[in-house]
Amino acid sequence: MISFTCDYNVGAVPEILRRLAETNLIQEPGYGEDSFCLSAKARIRQAVGCPDAEIFFLTGGTQTNATVISAMLKGYEGVISAETGHIGVHEAGAVEFTGHKVLPLPSHQGKILAEELDAYLRRFYADEACSHMVFPGMVYISFPTEYGTIYTQEELTRIREVCLRNSLPLFIDGARLGYGLMSRSSDLDLHELASLCDVFYIGGTKVGALCGEAVVFPAGNAPAHFFTTVKQHGALLAKGRLLGIQFDTLFTDGLYFKISRHVIDMAERLKTIFQKAGIELFIDSPTNQQFVILSPAQMDNLRKEVLFEVWEPLPDGRFVVRFATSWATTEQQLSRLEELLSEC
């Protein structure tokens, strides 16, 4: 079977496994004070172009979202998100568990619009009863979004402007950050992205690592004692080296970007294969998650050799399905998929 179900269905890129083996017996302090973490942080500071950035390594996305959001919100504040945002839908209420409401904005293929954010905030502050309501305390977006789409530099700049006018920190969930940055449609690089938000993270789990997300506070603006907050949220590894080694490897010789570019290349090839086969795109995604529309017959036929994820049923009896490429996706796998599609 060939699996396109997700970008976390195999292990880590070989460079990471090799480095774990090489460093295995080096004795280092725990809890992220090891030399690998220090080196990784230095490399990331350089990659994001922020010499004052503060960086923390956590293990997974839901954990990172809840920890960052609850550390940055006041008790009476909530976090604004597209109604399709990962924090509002697929994190089992992790944000609410920390005591905060997720304030939904309309989703446009996963994205929020600056003007709708602005209108929401104007309405909120104009409401005489607003002191009885949850105050907006930060804005959460994902890049790429849950639908594989990405913000342009102009869109992000305009959202950021609304945030600044309203003193709202902007948080970018970068679980698949590399794929957004390496997308052929992207006009943003990592320096620019870092300069357009208050905090973001560089996803490792879905971009070639075994686990790990690197939270970046570009201006050295981490909340006081954020280390302790990380510990309190159960997000601190005793063997912090596991994260340090991985991110140090990913940010050596641009490996993170090379992986991402390969994954995008495979996704573009995948899209071409679908288009050639006359398969309709549900969303014209510029990143590694491709959403296409298949009939039940097509799905049954493919399933003999291929795994993919059913996203949602359509009224006409067909289905939206998701195919994701990963660091391990190969030309051979795609060629076989192409053959199978031609037989459908």
Selected range binding a second copy among 10-18, 38-46, 270-278, 284-292, rule: CB under 8 A: 10-18
User: Smaller CB distance to a second copy: residue 133 or 281?
Assistant: 133
* Identified binder of a second copy from the candidate list 40, 80, 94, 222, rule CB under 8 A: 94
109, 166, 197, 219, 259 from 154: Cα distances, Å: 17, 19, 13, 21, 26
Using CB under 8 A as the binding rule, whether residue 342 contacts a second copy is answered as no
Q: Does 164 bind a second copy (CB under 8 A)?
A: no
CA-to-CA distance for 181 and 169, rounded, in angstroms? 21
Nearer to a second copy, 87 or 188 (CB): 87
Question: Per-residue string for binding with a second copy, 243-282, x by CB under 8 A?
Answer: ----------------------------------------
Q: Rule CB under 8 A: choose which of 15, 39, 49, 96 binds a second copy.
A: 96
Work out which of 43, 57, 59, 178 binds a second copy, going by CB under 8 A. Answer: 59
| DSSP codes of every residue in 257-303 | HHHHHHHHHHHHHHHHHHHHTTPEEEE--SSSEEEEEE-HHHHHHHT
Q: Answer yes or no whether residue 70 interacts with a second copy by CB under 8 A.
A: yes
Total number of residues that touch a second copy (CB under 8 A): 81
Cα-based angle 256, 58, 208 (whole degrees, multiple of 5): 30
The footprint of a second copy on residues 105-124 (CB under 8 A) is: none
Q: How far is the CB of 224 from a second copy (least distance, A)?
A: 7
* Residue 1 in the binding site for a second copy (CB under 8 A): yes
Spell 67-89 as b/e; 16+ CB within 10 A means b. bbbbbbbeeebbbbbbebbbbbe
51 vs 93 by CB, closer to a second copy: 93
Residues 168-227, interacting with a second copy (CB under 8 A): 205-206, 210-211, 224-225, 227
What is the rounded distance in angstroms from the CA atom of residue 102 to the CA atom of residue 269? 37
Q: What is the DSSP string of 25-91?
A: T----STT-SHHHHHHHHHHHHHHT-TT-EEEEES-HHHHHHHHHHHHS-TTEEEEEETT-HHHHSS
Stretch that binds a second copy, among 57-65, 138-146, 253-261, 292-300 (CB under 8 A): 57-65
Instruction: Check binding of 318 to a second copy (CB under 8 A).
Output: no
Segment near a second copy (CB under 8 A); pick from 83-91, 143-151, 264-272, 274-282 = 83-91
Pairing of strands 2-3, 199-203: unpaired
> Rounded to the nearest whole angstrom, what is the least distance from the CB of residue 198 to a second copy in the complex?
18
